[in-house]
Structure 1
Amino acid sequence: MDRIVLASGSPRRKEMLEKYNIEPIIIKSNVEEIINQDEAAEQIAMSLALTKALDVSARFNDDIVIGADTIVVIDEVILGKPNNEEDAFKMLSMLSGRMHEVITGIAIIKGNANKKIIDYELTKVKFRELSNDLINRYIKTKEPHDKAGAYGIQGIGAILVENIDGCYSNVVGLPLTKIDILLNKYFDYKIL
């Protein structure tokens, strides 16, 4: 059976795959995440995922390499990971009481088979109204620091979310249903 290489340093993505008895090889890509606000959000997420997967696949030609990149979009503004607490406060204030989109770009590559599949998943997330005090208390947990949009739905940040429309695992950072479908269809690989 093919090995899965995850072109990501995200512990959440690794944990998600491990639930299915997949022990992914974790190789963090050295690609700098550059976001061009003039491009469509889906294109940005897919491009970053592909760049990460290509960077790592050069070293794993016989294996299936999965690259993923998650971004948050509100009012056509792309929110990546916050640079500091002030940035996190600004992002969470923008999301307060409003619907936003979480987009994860996916790139799956198998070098020796010359296969590259690029896709994305989109989930709509509605936040409850957040007081400045709640935002500050959440930031103090340190959870927002390494997450797109400055929150993690799978952690303490669940308290911020009123509802979601779409794939929950996408909001965590890895749309498992879509990845399973793509792996089945194009790589004859089943997660479960």
Structure 2
Amino acid sequence: MNMEIILASQSPRRKELMSLLPYPFKIHPSAFDESTVTDQDPETAVLKIAEGKAMDIAAKFPEAVVIGSDTIVYQEKILGKPKTAEEAADMLKSLSGRTHTVYTGVVLMRGQETVTFTEQTDVTFWPLSDEEINNYVATPDPYDKAGAYGIQSGGALFVKAIRGDYYAVVGLPVARLKRELQSFLSCFQP
């Protein structure tokens, strides 16, 4: 089947994970404004953002299968992407020595057909020293990531345990996505 598949993301991590799938795809970053989603329920919020990204690109490419995805870190409240070093340090202090949940929402969309799913992964951090936090916050790593850490980069040194899909924490649950996408694509076969 020669159906175009588009990832509605500019994330280099999602692009890398998508390349593990046996499908050619294109990248078209979405201009969806994530700040318009104000839900405090993490599962609802992550799906609304993923859907907003997918809808933005699907409107431009109605014949393509569009994949929208978003990741949220949740510990008593949603921890977004930090804007300042102080905000990043505060987030990491709140995660230190505790378990938090990472929600990744995925939306597959073509025309009126839509499939949505979420993955939840529990991540436990070691207790972090002020020095560890300050050294990490001094790097560019925390600022484009929910919860102020990248599990696939410097934040890996904070992780004591993980229960769930590691790749969902990185930003795209590829094993489940492969299965969902395979099923979704079969809906459009003659």
Q: Distance in 1 between matches of 2:182 and 2:25?
A: 17
Cα deviation per residue 1:103-161 (whole Å; 9 max; x = unaligned)?
A: 011110012xx311111111000000000100011111210010000000111110011
Cα offset, 1:7, TM superposition:
0.7
| Residue 36 of structure 1, aligned match among 32, 35, 38 | 38
Q: Distance in 1 between matches of 2:175 and 2:19?
A: 15
Aligned to 2:184: 186
Give the secondary structure class of the aligned counterpart of 1:68: strand
| Residue 146 of structure 2, aligned match among 108, 132, 148 | 148
Cα offset, 1:19, TM superposition:
3.0
Conservation of the 8 A alpha-carbon contact between 2:21 and 2:174: no
Aligned to 2:110: 110
Q: Distance in 1 between matches of 2:14 and 2:23?
A: 11
Amino acid at match of 1:69: D
Conservation of the 8 A alpha-carbon contact between 1:14 and 1:24: no
Q: What is the count of residue pairs matched by the alignment? A: 185
1:79-90 equivalence runs, <5 A: 79-90=79-90
Amino acid at match of 1:42: E
Conservation of the 8 A alpha-carbon contact between 2:71 and 2:103: yes
Give the secondary structure class of the aligned counterpart of 1:8: coil
Give the secondary structure class of the aligned counterpart of 1:13: helix
Conservation of the 8 A alpha-carbon contact between 1:104 and 1:121: yes
Q: Which moved more, 1:2-11 or 1:65-74?
A: 2-11
| Residue 166 of structure 1, aligned match among 164, 169, 175 | 164
Structure 2 unaligned residues grouped into runs of 5+ = none
Aligned to 1:69: 70
Q: Distance in 1 between matches of 2:66 and 2:38?
A: 25
Aligned to 1:135: 133
Percent of matched pairs sharing the same residue: 42
The alignment's TM-score, normalised by the length of structure 1, stands at: 0.91
Conservation of the 8 A alpha-carbon contact between 1:126 and 1:164: yes
Structure 1 unaligned residues grouped into runs of 5+ = none
Amino acid at match of 1:26: I
Amino acid at match of 2:162: I
Cα offset, 1:182, TM superposition:
1.2
Give the secondary structure class of the aligned counterpart of 1:116: strand
Give the secondary structure class of the aligned counterpart of 2:34: coil
Q: Distance in 2 between matches of 1:29 and 1:86?
A: 28
Conservation of the 8 A alpha-carbon contact between 1:12 and 1:172: yes
RMSD in angstroms over aligned alpha carbons? 1.5
Give the secondary structure class of the aligned counterpart of 1:5: strand
Amino acid at match of 1:183: L
